Amino acid sequence: MERQRRYSRFDGISSWSFVMSEYRPAYDQAFLQDCMHIHQLWHERAKSRDTEGLLALYAKAAVLETPLVQAIFDRRESGILRGHREIRPFFEEGARRLPNALVRWHRTGKWLTDGERLLVWEYPRQAPDGDQVDIVEVMEIADGLIQYHRIYWGWFGAQLLTRSAVDKARKAA
């Protein structure tokens, strides 16, 4: 069976999804607009350290999952934060710790979606002005808001987290 790539355009948004070995167009224009909106605003608000603006993009009961949680909060047993009450302090502490020379906020401006619930983009290690923390943002979107957000770290970023954890352990010993 030959696979064909179908392309779909809505108001300048191009999207396709790969589901069970089959390409299909994403038809939900409102969802694609939500993805475009969140992709743009999340980046702008994170870069400008706008905690309240970032939280406004998340559902009240949203979940944020990242290994950075345990790097920032020593007493956390997991890297999972639930709801605005837990997510807000994480964003506030992140804003206090910036700027960091390895957070350059470089990305291509491209994003991926399955056309139904997922929004994905990358901050690659290689930036025009040097290496940066390499992460992939994976968000589940519903009702125009982030419902679940997972942040995956590449080898360069993971190496920095590991080094930080070792340094903390040495200081504690």
Establish if 8 belongs to a structural domain: no
Evaluate whether residue 94 is within a structural domain.
yes
Strands 145-153 and 135-142: antiparallel
Distance CA 73, CA 93 (A): 9
- 76 token code pair: 């956390």
Residue 4 lies in a domain: no
Domain membership of residue 87 (yes or no) is yes
What would the DSSP string read from start to end of 91-124? HHHHHHH---TT------S--EE-SSSEEEEEE-
CATH number assigned to the domain comprising residue 168: 3.10.450.50
Q: What is the dihedral of CA 68, 70, 73, 79, to 10 degrees?
A: 80
CA distance 32 to 25: 12
Is 76 a member of any domain?
yes
Q: Which residues of the chain have pLDDT under 50?
A: 1-11, 14-15, 17-22, 24
- Residue 83 φ then ψ, to 5°: 80, 165
Full residue range of the structural domain in which residue 71 is found: 14-172
List, for residues 80-100, the tens digit of each pLDDT value. 999 999 999 999 998 887 656
What is d(CA 32, CA 38) in angstroms, rounded to the nearest whole number? 10
Give the number of C-alpha atoms closer than 13 A to the C-alpha of residue 34, restricted to the C-beta side.
21
Which pLDDT value is given to residue 104?
A: 72
Answer yes or no: is 69 within a domain. Answer: yes
Alpha helices (H) along the chain: 29-47, 51-55, 68-72, 83-97, 155-172
Assess if residue 26 is contained within a domain. yes
7 is a domain residue:
no
pTM of the predicted model as reported, rounded to 2 decimal places: 0.81
Number of domains in the chain: 1
Predicted pLDDT of residue 100 = 67
What lies within 8 Å, CB to CB, of 94 at 6+ separation is: 49, 68, 72
Check residue 123 and give its pLDDT: 93
pLDDT value at residue 39 = 97
* Neighbour count for residue 99 (Cβ, 10 Å): 9
